[in-house]
Amino acid sequence: MERTAILPFIARGARCPSRTASPSVRTACQCIEQLIAAIADIAERDDIHQAAARLAEVQDWISREAEQAASDPIFEVLSCAS
């Protein structure tokens, strides 16, 4: 896909109805927003440092979600079954 073809899609982006003032990613919607914004930063060669910061926030959110999922009893049962 050409760069120009993907930019309108990225620019539209998904917007969450509720956003917190905190800069850290707290919801799945905010995670997706940060991913889209990072892709836009990279695609437009806008600010690679900003893209890296956004991706670090996404990675932190994924790690927190993974820790919470690991402590969920349903995942314990599923991991024993595999």
Question: Does residue 50 lie within any of the structural domains?
Answer: yes
- Asked whether residue 73 is assigned to any structural domain, the reply reads yes
User: Do the beta carbons of residue 29 and residue 16 sit within 8 Å?
Assistant: yes
Other CB atoms within a 10 A radius of the CB of residue 24 amount to: 11
How much is the pLDDT for 81? 64
Q: Residue 56: which of 71, 38, 76, 77 has the closest Cα?
A: 38
The Cβ-side half-sphere exposure at 30, using a 13 Å CA radius, reads: 17
The residue range of the domain holding 76 is 25-81
- Helix H or strand E encompassing 39: helix 28-43
Does 3 fall in a domain?
Answer: no
Residue 41 identity: D
Counting residues of the chain whose pLDDT is more than 70, the rounded percentage is 65
- pTM beyond 0.75, yes or no: no
Our count of domains for the chain comes to 1
Per-residue model confidence as pLDDT tens digits over 32-68: 999 999 999 999 887 899 999 999 999 999 999 998 8
Residue 58 lies in a domain: yes
